[in-house]
Amino acid sequence: MKSCELILALDLESRSEAVKILKTIGTDLKWVKIGLQMFTSQGPDWVNQVAAMGYQVFLDLKLHDIPNTVEKAVQSLCHLPIGMLTLHSLGGVEMLTAANKVRQELKPNLLLLGVTVLTSMDKKQLNRVGVPASPQDQVQNLAGAVVESRVPGIVCSAKELKTLGPNFRTQLKFITPGIRPAGASEDDQKRIVTPAQAATLGSDYIVVGRPIYKAASPREAVQSIREDLQ
């Protein structure tokens, strides 16, 4: 089994609360994900602060617009100290390619990621928005678009890795949210697995939020998940 790293999804109401949790966890954690909630409330300065605390930053904005707009957005974000950035794969090959071209020119070490099917969605929800495929088939389809555009990674449920692996293992990095330690609440997630299962299935990185920052001891929660990954 290859190594799999933990990313903390830090989706909280206030910067002070987030800083407190990060100081509690300390160097037991390498990656922190900043999503729409905190980026829209705290702005780029929050990205700089988290990076200055010694963490690698995964900026999860799921960019989705016409190719030129996404290209310019990636260009604007490349000056920030980020190691990962998400796009919505549904934007299509042209949009993904435009974003990747900027990445290669300005920040080639940035791990650009195509989000496939959100882990909060199941087949019923996909069908309701006009996608007749199952989540598994839709992820396969979108992973193909990501590879065609040369974007280096995707975000998907670990449940899809068993079928994705044979076709895309050598071409993509796999980042998997929807991770819940055994016994943890599922919250609003639909397609979930445990940390150990995700690592066994081939995840390169797992994303965990509430089971860590809502734990009585976030640091112990991180340590427990890291033990599961090994």
Q: Which comes out higher in pLDDT, residue 185 or 227?
A: 227
Domain architecture of the chain: domains with CATH:
5-229 (3.20.20.70)
pLDDT at site 3:
85
Residues 86-142 have pLDDT tens digits of 999 999 999 999 999 999 999 999 999 999 998 888 899 999 998 998 889 999 999
Catalytic residue among 2, 30, 33, 62: 62
The whole-number pLDDT of residue 152 equals 97
**How much is the average pLDDT of 64-86?**
98
Q: For residue 184, is pLDDT > 80?
A: no
Residue 43 has pLDDT above 90, yes or no: yes
188 pLDDT above the threshold of 80: no
Token output for 145: 């678009």
Determine what percent of the chain is predicted with pLDDT higher than 90. Answer: 70
Residue 62 annotated in active site: yes
The pLDDT of residue 6 is above 70: yes
- Indicate the pTM of the whole model: 0.92
